[in-house]
A and B are shown apart, each in its own frame.
Chain A
Amino acid sequence: MAKVYAVVQHREGKIHRMAWETVTAAQQLAALSGGQAAAVVLGSGVAGLAAELAAWDLESVRVIDHPRLADYTPGGYVAALAALVALEHPEILLFPHTYQTVEYMPRLALAASAAIVPEAFSFEPDGAGGLLWKRPILEGKLYARVRAKGAGPILVSLQSGAFSADARRPGQAPVATVEVDLASAATWREILGVKEMGGERVDLSKAEIIVAIGRGVGGADKMGPVEELARVLKAELGASRPVIDSGWLPRDRQIGSSGQTVAPKLYLAFGISGAIQHLVGMKGATCIVAVNKDAGAPIFKVANYGIVGDLHEVIPALLAALKAE
């Protein structure tokens, strides 16, 4: 009879897309274990969000509404959730694997004597009354089957897209307010402001064809043939994060979880291994072509066509073939 809590992330009055995936996962996990799924929303003035969550098949919506939770801070969130765990003893807390949850989950684990399973993408019974989780390792090239041991709750963050938001079951859930004392919650930071990173000048979401490059391109001085290919195909140039971080292309060309999400009819990925952070930004493309030296690169799993080889040889060959047509 596992008690499963889905912790719902939100910002500016909107529930995070991945939070709905967490609700689906909580429902499935509760069904598997004959337990109950609840949603937890914390913030200040979040009655509207709680009402939205109440329209789904949940045992309840737990609300922690406190002025100190108006903005996300690790101090406030850890104190509030640790208090909730101490009061209600959920066995499993599910989170979306986001920049926000990854930042505070480990501290919550310490405060609540919990185990952490980061970035799980599936679960199954372990045959001994517990659960096995699968999570990516080595940048998604492999996955690990892991299990929490020892007493205490388990905190699990769920990989983006691993559970379908659309699969959540509607229903009716009572809203329950949980009072917590945050007077002595740690103040680990003072928020000075929020700003746009670099500003998105190029809107890649409207591109029909994207030629994307990864770390494998090898340097800013090796871009000539790539740029020519983009010209010939009338394509936009895109890149995975390492290319941007190395300064080979400007930040507005970044595709993936910390960049733009695209869905062109043709996506050509050169020297991109296919880490999940990149895949979430481009897997909606109609046709994906992958060129990579490593036959085991995860990008080949989502691609329609693949060439195992050095992009510096394949691109000139492609240019020649296009010109010959």
Chain B
Amino acid sequence: MRIAVCIKQVPDTDARLRVAKDGCWIDEDDLPFAINEGDEVALEEALQIAEKHGAEVVVVSLGPERVREALRKALALGAARAVHLRHEAFAGGDAIATGRALAAVVRREQCELVLTGSQSDDNGYGATGTIVAGLLDWPHAWLVMGVELEEGLKTLKVTREMESGLSEVVRLSLPAVLEVQAGLNHPRYASLKGIMSAKKKEIAELSPGDLGLTESEVGRSGSRLEVLSVAFPESSAGAQILSGEGAAGELVSKLKNEARVI
């Protein structure tokens, strides 16, 4: 079996953000990046399945040059190969355009299972993995909290989170797409040996043409959603900010005398 894991490199959770000059995205200069949390969990799940049942894990990511670092890390963690969709035409896509490119990779690589995070920490569409499933006409599940490959490796028992503290157990037949939720597992750290061996592993760069797609089908031009601008929320009322050395003392006194809650 071959498993594709779609990962996205996103700004680090603690990164200081600034709006870029064109106003359409954040300024990426000097911005620290990391693998999207849900995608790291997806990779861990794929590696565990591979260790248990035997499978090849191919990690796929779309994005500029910096994304190589994320792919290199995934290879160090145990993925066998990587595919990098670096071509400029892939950039700026919505979930539909990005999903189209990823689905084409999955088809080309003849994978039977796709794992990815439920949503990215940057755009947060929560839709890309589902688009991949839709384009391949495969079953999928979103917000996956448990994965069990059933005997014969033809079906999966999947626990997915529902609203109000409930979860649902469903059976999907392979091939399938699973969009996992953080908390499903605890991702491993890369070993020194893993880091060394990653240097020898292949990162293949594929263009839209390599995937049988035209440039107008992917990225910004293949999208149905156009981002006009991004901004910080208008600072309305907001908190009364206390600062300086006496801040803690001032807070306690305000909670007691002003808000009267302690």
* Cα of A78 to Cα of B251 in the assembled complex, Å: 52
Q: A146-B226, A307-B247, A325-B256 are in contact. Are A102 and B240 (CB under 8 A)?
A: no
Stretch binding the partner chain, chosen from B43-51, B63-71, B77-85, B119-127: B119-127
Q: Give a binary string over B107-135; 1 marks a CB under 8 Å from any A CB, 0 the rest.
A: 00000000000000111111110110111
Is A301 located at the chain interface by the 8 A CB criterion?
yes
CB <8 Å contact, B224 and A115? yes
* Cα of A249 to Cα of B143 in the assembled complex, Å: 20
Shortest C-beta distance, A264 to chain B (Å), equals: 9
Chain A residues lying within 8 Å of B133, measured Cβ to Cβ, are 107
CB <8 Å contact, B233 and A138? no
Shortest C-beta distance, B174 to chain A (Å), equals: 12
Chain A interface (Cβ < 8 Å from any Cβ of B): 11, 16, 74, 98-100, 102-107, 109-111, 114-119, 132, 136-139, 141-150, 152, 186, 188-198, 200, 209, 215, 233, 241-242, 244-247, 258-259, 265-266, 273, 286-290, 293-296, 298, 300-301, 303-309, 314, 317-318, 320-322, 324-325
CB <8 Å contact, A304 and B228? no
For chain B, the count of residues having a C-beta within 8 Å of the partner chain is 81
Among residues of A, the one whose C-beta sits closest to the C-beta of B248 is: A317
Chain A residues lying within 8 Å of B142, measured Cβ to Cβ, are 99, 102-103
Q: A110-B134, A290-B239 are in contact. Are A102 and B166 (CB under 8 A)?
A: no
A/B interface sample: 30 pairs, CB < 8 A:
A99-B163, A103-B143, A106-B128, A106-B131, A110-B135, A111-B134, A116-B94, A118-B95, A136-B124, A142-B26, A144-B229, A145-B230, A146-B227, A147-B225, A152-B224, A189-B170, A195-B169, A233-B262, A246-B183, A259-B165, A288-B239, A301-B239, A304-B259, A305-B254, A305-B259, A306-B242, A314-B248, A318-B252, A321-B249, A321-B251
Shortest C-beta distance, A293 to chain B (Å), equals: 8
CB <8 Å contact, A300 and B239? yes
CB <8 Å contact, A116 and B125? yes
CB <8 Å contact, A194 and B167? yes
Interface members, chain B 218-261 (any A CB < 8 Å): 223-233, 235-243, 247-249, 251-252, 254-256, 259, 261
CB <8 Å contact, B171 and A147? no
A116 touches which of B95, B138, B169, B172 (Cβ 8 Å): B95
CB <8 Å contact, B122 and A147? no
CB <8 Å contact, B121 and A139? yes
Chain A residues lying within 8 Å of B169, measured Cβ to Cβ, are 191-195
Is B96 located at the chain interface by the 8 A CB criterion?
yes
Q: A137-B122, A189-B172, A314-B247 are in contact. Are A100 and B227 (CB under 8 A)?
A: no
CB <8 Å contact, B226 and A296? no
CB <8 Å contact, A309 and B163? no
Q: A189-B171, A196-B166, A197-B165 are in contact. Are A116 and B240 (CB under 8 A)?
A: no
Shortest C-beta distance, A126 to chain B (Å), equals: 8
CB <8 Å contact, A196 and B165? yes
Shortest Cβ-Cβ A-B pairs, 3 listed: A245-B183, A306-B239, A115-B224
Chain A residues lying within 8 Å of B249, measured Cβ to Cβ, are 317, 321, 324
CB <8 Å contact, B228 and A147? yes
B251 touches which of A215, A286, A289, A308 (Cβ 8 Å): A289
* Cα of A119 to Cα of B167 in the assembled complex, Å: 22
Among residues of A, the one whose C-beta sits closest to the C-beta of B222 is: A150
Is B182 located at the chain interface by the 8 A CB criterion?
yes
CB <8 Å contact, A242 and B165? no
CB <8 Å contact, A137 and B241? no
Among residues of A, the one whose C-beta sits closest to the C-beta of B166 is: A194
Is B190 located at the chain interface by the 8 A CB criterion?
no
Interface members, chain B 166-181 (any A CB < 8 Å): 166-172, 181
Chain B residues lying within 8 Å of A105, measured Cβ to Cβ, are 127, 130
Shortest C-beta distance, A155 to chain B (Å), equals: 10
Shortest C-beta distance, A310 to chain B (Å), equals: 12
Chain A residues lying within 8 Å of B171, measured Cβ to Cβ, are 189-190, 192
* Cα of A246 to Cα of B163 in the assembled complex, Å: 21
Q: A143-B230, A321-B248 are in contact. Are A118 and B255 (CB under 8 A)?
A: no
* Cα of A105 to Cα of B133 in the assembled complex, Å: 12
Chain A residues lying within 8 Å of B229, measured Cβ to Cβ, are 144-145
Chain B residues lying within 8 Å of A305, measured Cβ to Cβ, are 239-242, 251, 254-255, 259
Q: A74-B140, A188-B172, A289-B251 are in contact. Are A119 and B124 (CB under 8 A)?
A: yes
CB <8 Å contact, B228 and A146? yes
CB <8 Å contact, B135 and A266? no
Chain A residues lying within 8 Å of B232, measured Cβ to Cβ, are 141-142, 296
Shortest C-beta distance, A232 to chain B (Å), equals: 10
* Cα of A190 to Cα of B236 in the assembled complex, Å: 48
Chain B residues lying within 8 Å of A137, measured Cβ to Cβ, are 122-124, 230
Among residues of B, the one whose C-beta sits closest to the C-beta of A208 is: B261
* Cα of A99 to Cα of B261 in the assembled complex, Å: 35
CB <8 Å contact, B239 and A304? yes
User: Max chain B CB contacts within 10 Å: which of A197, A242, A295, A308?
Assistant: A197
CB <8 Å contact, B242 and A194? no
Given contacts A146-B228, A192-B157, A321-B249, 14 further A-B contacts (CB under 8 A): A105-B130, A109-B127, A114-B224, A142-B17, A143-B231, A144-B229, A194-B168, A195-B169, A196-B165, A294-B14, A304-B239, A305-B254, A307-B251, A314-B247
